Amino acid sequence: MANDESRWDLGCGHGSFDSDRSKGERVYRSHAVVLLAVLVLTVGFGSRPAAPADPLSILHEGESLTFDVTWMGIKAGKATLESKGQTILNGRPVYHLVTTARSSSVISKFYPVNDRSESYLGMDPFHTVQFEKHLREGRYRHDSYTVFEPRAGRALFRYLDFSQVPKGVSRLEEAERYGKWVQQEFPLAANALDELAVLYYARLLPLREGQNYTAKVFASRKNWDLQVRVLRREMLDTVIGRRETLIVEPLLAFEGIFQQKGRMIVWLTNDAERVPVKMESEVKVGSFVSTLARREAGTAQAALPPGGVVR
């Protein structure tokens, strides 16, 4: 029996892959209902630009963004982006980000989604230290950890092989009794980011109309050059008030749910905070719309201690 690695693709965002292409694409589309529009913001800003003097001006401890996701007017689910603040990972000071996605009660009746991903960041330079992903999408299960080692130029990817785990077992602690952890090593580009971290990096940059930006992101076990185009400004009524926004269009090259199949548009507030307030992504039938429903601003962080943040 093939191990679990043959069933999925570590794509940008929370997609999965099946050796049966049509089945894999159904998994992508179903999960995209919940989270695609939110995480599409993670494509594209600056492979080696100078970072702002104070990155933690955006990385507020306790900031929580909650999005309502709809498809053709039907409530499909909720997604969250959370800044947890500073913590210690393996004896090193890091900054902790979390994203979750859950399907609505209607969608859950035929395709329940309950996903969580976490990113741990070093600040000098801004880069990913570790990224973990825990997905429960219908009958699909996935758990993995990726350790970014920029000085060694490698990413260590560790995933749980679910091939021997009974179908009814979902909780990670129980699944570990049946499955085994498998580790793989891949080349890593300098200062590479994961798909969650690059969203927050994007919010730090001085975006301007008519400009294009690129980034190095490690996903799908590869290093990707991602691009985004800043289209124009637009006034928008949002849950945090009427705001001028910048409309950006990611130009996607990712495998998985971010494969370019339809246009994707993102609205960021045109202020110092660059809050994502709305996202739209076209599909074969209609489009997904993700709208900011609630924001807790959190508090600004003090700088992390110098040194010890680059492996």
**Contact present, 274 and 48 (Cβ < 8 Å):** no
> What CA–CA distance (Å, rounded) separates 150 from 29?
33
Q: Is the pLDDT confidence value at 107 over 50?
A: yes
Question: What's the pLDDT at 248?
Answer: 86
Cβ contacts of residue 128 below 8 Å, gap of 6+?
119, 120, 121, 122, 148, 192, 193, 194, 197, 218
By three-state DSSP, how is residue 14 classified? coil
For the chain, which residues make up each domain, given as ranges? 4-296
Mean pLDDT of 105-114: 88
User: Which alpha helices (H) appear in the chain, and where do they start and end?
Assistant: 21-39, 105-108, 172-175, 197-202
DSSP letter string over 89-127?
Answer: ETTEEEEEEEEEEEE-HHHHTTS-BEEEEEEEEEETTEE
Question: pLDDT digit string (tens) for 240-268?
Answer: 999 999 998 877 554 433 344 567 788 99
Q: Per the structure block, which two tokens stand in for 265?
A: 């548009």
Tracing tokens 């963004």 back to the chain, one arrives at 65
* Average pLDDT, rounded, for the chain: 76
Please compute Rg for the chain using Cα positions. 18
> What CA–CA distance (Å, rounded) separates 181 from 269?
42
183 band by pLDDT with thresholds 50, 70 and 90: very high
Question: pLDDT digit string (tens) for 154-181?
Answer: 999 999 999 999 988 999 999 999 999 9
Which has the higher per-residue pLDDT, 204 or 196? 196
Q: Is the pLDDT confidence value at 35 over 50?
A: no
Question: What's the pLDDT at 120?
Answer: 95
Q: Per the structure block, which two tokens stand in for 304?
A: 């992390």
Q: Per the structure block, which two tokens stand in for 205?
A: 């940059």
Question: What's the pLDDT at 235?
Answer: 97
Point out which residues pair with 161 in neighbouring strands: 180
Q: Is the pLDDT confidence value at 20 over 80?
A: no
Q: Is the pLDDT confidence value at 280 over 50?
A: yes
Mean pLDDT of 224-231: 82
3-state secondary structure string across 297-309: CCECCCCCCCCCC
